[in-house]
């Protein structure tokens, strides 16, 4: 697959820094999980430090030795890569799902069932914000959707690709991008954006958040997280069947 070929071709000489964390439990988590996960960590009996970021960045940091007890990513490919490369023992456990949405700044008119022409007309001279299409899960899903509607070739020169989905959200919320593709949970976390279109789930691979325990303490935390999916659902995520 393209993403995995790209992963193998990464230059590991590019230094990836991770924060020094003096905490009892260290969790690496996809940026879109922020909010509900913060609540869950405050419930935990130990001091928890969470490093949020793009799933690709987090996976590469763990592969280079970043200290963590558990990792929760937003795409199965990155979890599979960590297991296949021997960095973490598998298998990953899927814990959540989500919905991909097209957003605009607050007050923007809905854009139902857009095609390439409708997207370009709304963009004007602007760009559409989304995660990097080869490494950020929300960007990977957005790429699949745009390809499905035959809009990728047209839209690609007009993208603002970001290092994680929350960065794409911020560009739209600040009015720096007229359109963006994020998760429904991200859109619900910002007063600065409106959902213009719920992207059909059959236009991209299923959205799954796989979790991997690295230590026994991390496994215990993931067991607790599995009992608190109600917090995520209330924030716009979807529970798995």
pLDDT digits (tens, 9 = 90+) for 28-40: 999 999 999 999 9
pLDDT tens sequence across 87-103: 999 899 999 999 999 99
The pLDDT of residue 83: 96
pLDDT tens sequence across 72-85: 999 999 999 999 99
The bridge status of strand 128-131 relative to strand 159-162 is parallel
> Nearest 5°: phi and psi at 53?
180, -175
pLDDT level of residue 22 (50, 70, 90 thresholds): low
SS3 at position 178: coil
The pLDDT of residue 90: 87
| b/e sequence 187-216, b meaning 16+ C-beta within 10 Å | bbbbeebbbbbebebeebeebbbbbbbbee
Rounded CA gap, 197 and 192, in Å?
Answer: 16
Has residue 68 got a pLDDT over 90?
yes
The pLDDT of residue 23: 78
The pLDDT of residue 21: 54
Has residue 18 got a pLDDT over 50?
no
Characterise 96 by phi-psi region: left (phi > 0), alpha (psi -120 to 50), beta (else). beta
The arithmetic mean of pLDDT across residues 117-126, rounded, is 98
pLDDT tens sequence across 143-167: 999 999 999 999 999 999 999 999 9
Q: Among residues 225, 234, 236, which one has the least CA distance to residue 186?
A: 236
The pLDDT of residue 5: 38
The arithmetic mean of pLDDT across residues 122-142, rounded, is 96
pLDDT level of residue 1 (50, 70, 90 thresholds): very low
Share of the chain above pLDDT 90, in %: 88
Please give the torsion angle defined by the CA atoms of residues 154, 156, 157 and 158, in that order, rounded to the nearest 10 degrees.
90
The label of the residue with tokens 């940026």 reads: 31
Has residue 48 got a pLDDT over 90?
yes
Given a contact cutoff of 8 angstroms between Cβ atoms, the answer to whether 85 and 78 are in contact is no
Rounded CA gap, 224 and 43, in Å?
Answer: 10
Backbone CA torsion sign across 221, 72, 27, 230: negative
The pLDDT of residue 172: 98
Has residue 138 got a pLDDT over 50?
yes
Given a contact cutoff of 8 angstroms between Cβ atoms, the answer to whether 120 and 201 are in contact is no
Q: Which two tokens stand for residue 47?
A: 């001091």
pLDDT level of residue 241 (50, 70, 90 thresholds): confident
Q: How many residues does the chain have?
A: 241
Q: Which two tokens stand for residue 118?
A: 């409708």
């Amino acid at each position: 697959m393209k993403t995995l070929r790209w992963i193998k071709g990464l230059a590991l000489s590019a230094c990836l820094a991770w924060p020094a964390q003096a905490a009892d439990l260290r969790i690496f988590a996809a940026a879109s999980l922020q909010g509900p996960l913060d609540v869950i960590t405050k419930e935990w009996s130990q001091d928890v430090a969470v490093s949020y970021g793009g799933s690709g960045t987090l996976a590469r940091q763990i592969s280079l030795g970043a200290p963590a007890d558990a990792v929760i990513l937003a795409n199965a490919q990155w979890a599979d890569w960590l297991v296949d490369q021997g960095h973490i023992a598998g298998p990953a456990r899927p814990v959540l799902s989500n919905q991909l949405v097209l957003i605009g700044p607050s007050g923007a008119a809905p854009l139902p069932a857009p095609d390439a022409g409708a997207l370009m007309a709304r963009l004007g001279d602007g760009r559409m914000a989304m995660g990097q299409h080869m490494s950020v899960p929300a960007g990977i899903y957005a790429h699949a959707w745009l390809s499905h509607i035959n809009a990728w070739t047209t839209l690609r020169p007009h993208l603002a690709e970001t290092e994680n989905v929350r960065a794409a959200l911020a560009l739209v919320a600040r009015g720096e991008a007229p359109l963006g593709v994020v998760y429904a949970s991200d859109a619900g976390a910002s007063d600065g954006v409106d959902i213009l279109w719920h992207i059909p789930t059959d236009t991209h691979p299923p959205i799954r958040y796989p979790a991997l325990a690295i230590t026994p303490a991390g496994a215990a935390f993931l067991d607790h997280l599995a009992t608190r999916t109600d917090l995520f659902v209330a924030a716009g995520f979807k529970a798995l069947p």
